[in-house]
Chain A
Amino acid sequence: MASPGGRLEFRDVARGAALTEALAARVTSLGRAPVSVMHVCGSHEQAIAKFGLRAAFPPELRVIMGPGCPVCVTDVPEVDEAVALARQGVRVATYGDMLRVPGTAGSLADERGRGARIDVVYGAAQAVELARGGEPVVFFASGFETTAVATAAVLLADPPASFSVLSAHKYIPPVMEIVAEMPGSAIEGFLAAGHAATITGWGVFERFVERHRLPVVVAGFEPLDILAGLVRLVEVIASGEPRVDNAFPRCVTREGNPAAQAALWRVFELQGGRWRGIAHVPNGNLRLRDEFAAWDARRRYAIDVAALWDHAPAALVAQCQCGDIMAGIASPHDCALFGRDCTPDAPVGACMVSAEGTCKIWHQYGGHPDLREIRRRA
């Protein structure tokens, strides 16, 4: 299968080779295998798969994608709320990736097929523009804290009364605690997403390191940035003194972006909630504060989700491994549906729907992001 990515090369081959060697040497000097680390960023996985980086990692190192796909972790009842609103005749605007995420009784795309008014927008601001016509518009908002900043900013800029938000926004730091504490978890450290930390600052991970004694290294998403971040992460693991380390200083500071944080926390507060396939995550959801109740779709509409719940899930859905894949326990190759009954054109689970989902990424970049897999499976 030809790579849809076309040719894309390391910008500095010599440095790539040096970092690859350094990574192998650091992992070997740990003297044990496997060494498992996790990243929580769809773009990290895209870059790792696209550039075939796993083939350059030492065989003892396992780099696993965790819950880094906001669309994928949007829980079924949250999708149900949007579907129920659409069925009730309310106009819903959302990001394109959200359209095909399955709820209990189908997706927003299914509702659109039945005539519901569903708009795909690029961002919160565009949804506000739709509402300026006077017709009520609910923005079904997903994304991590970085994307929630944009939702917060439009709510702070005097949106029309016809606009409201159904927030499925999620906050990453608490879910790292859940994944770190999962029974049988062998994760020894986290690679944190560079541009997300642009907003939160790397200081946001200090409490996690203190509580869980696991290192966090902030890394960019270019192949060299990822390799450099992994070298640093393995060095910190070897030191036995967990800390937060910033391997992406050209973008990330300890404090982050104070203006964005101020907007985020003025509008949102943390609430516990389920992440699809993972667990109840205390403080994992971003919900609108009371002050913004007038723009909170959950408080403005009586959303009748129970009406959807007499539908049994389809048989294929029961076999979907998306939850275990997002928790880092399984890989797409452990799923019997992957690439056969579940493809980007006919996705069964959310991980195959979103461009940031592990399954879609592995499928898109050839299905074998680790060249060694081909040898093992041949």
Chain B
Amino acid sequence: MQRLVGMCLGVPGRIVSIDGDIALVDFWGVVKPVRIDVVDAPVAPGDYVLNHVGFAIRRISPEDVADTLALYDELLRRAGAGDLMAADVRSEIDAAGSHDG
């Protein structure tokens, strides 16, 4: 499967815990480490963040979480195996956690 380099999609996830510059982030039940040194606002466990190539880049405000998650839910649940957009999202989840060794 091809891997992304561009980013229009990114992937949202919920912060479970934080240790220094690394947060553990829950992506649909899969928990992975994400760097939080370039996120746009202070974040805390429970916050949702948008992530790209293993970095959180935006804190998603609580009132926008449901809207933001909806498309990704649909992409991941309903798209076929060859779908480019779903593949982008899966690659972004894979990219998280690629820097824990």
Contact = CB atoms under 8 A, between A and B. Distances in A.
A, B in one complex: yes
Interface of A: 3-9, 11, 41-44, 46-47, 50, 68-71, 95-98, 120-126, 128-129, 142-144, 146-147, 149-150, 153, 156-157, 193-196, 198-199, 221-222, 250-251, 256-260, 263, 354-356, 360-361, 364-365
Interface of B: 1-10, 21, 35, 37-40, 50, 52-55, 57-58, 61, 64, 67-68, 70-71, 74-75, 78-85, 87-88, 91, 94-95, 98-99, 101
Given A6-B79, A125-B35, A71 B85 contact: no
Given A143-B7, A221-B9, A364 B57 contact: no
A86 B97 CA distance: 27
A129 B101 CA distance: 6
Contacts of A128: 99
Main secondary structure of the interface of B (DSSP, over half): loop
B32 to A, nearest CB: 11
B61 to A, nearest CB: 8
A128 B35 CA distance: 14
B8 A250 contact: no
Given A123-B54, A259-B39, A260-B38, A221 B5 contact: no
A122 B53 contact: yes
A42 B4 CA distance: 10
Contacts of B83: 4-6, 50, 364
Contacts of A146: 6-7, 52, 57
Contacts of A222: 71
B5 A149 contact: no
B8 A196 contact: yes
Nearest to B100: A129
Given A50-B85, A198-B57, A250-B68, A95 B5 contact: yes
B9 A195 contact: yes
Contact of B5 (A7, A70, A360): A70
A196 B7 CA distance: 7
Given A263-B38, A356-B4, A4 B82 contact: yes
* 4 tightest Cβ-Cβ pairs between the two chains A and B: A43-B8, A125-B99, A96-B3, A122-B95
B6 A150 contact: no
A97 B88 CA distance: 11
Contacts of B75: 8
B83 to A, nearest CB: 5
Given A195-B9, A250-B67, A355-B4, A150 B52 contact: yes
Contacts of B10: 195
7 contacts: A9-B74, A125-B99, A143-B53, A250-B67, A251-B64, A257-B38, A365-B84
Contact of B99 (A129, A258, A361): A129
Contacts of A8: 74-75, 78-79
A122 B2 contact: no
Nearest to B86: A5
A358 B6 CA distance: 13
Contacts of A221: 8-9
Contacts of A95: 3-5
Contact of B35 (A143, A153, A250): A153
Contact of B8 (A156, A193, A258): A193
A190 B100 CA distance: 39
Contact of A147 (B7, B91, B101): B7
A146 B5 CA distance: 10
Contacts of A258: 40
Nearest to B73: A11
| Residue picked from B35, B37, B53, B71, most chain A C-beta under 10 Å | B53
Contacts of A97: 2-5
A6 B78 contact: yes
Contacts of A11: 70-71, 74
A260 B56 CA distance: 10
A177 B65 CA distance: 35
A126 B81 CA distance: 25
Contacts of A41: 6, 8
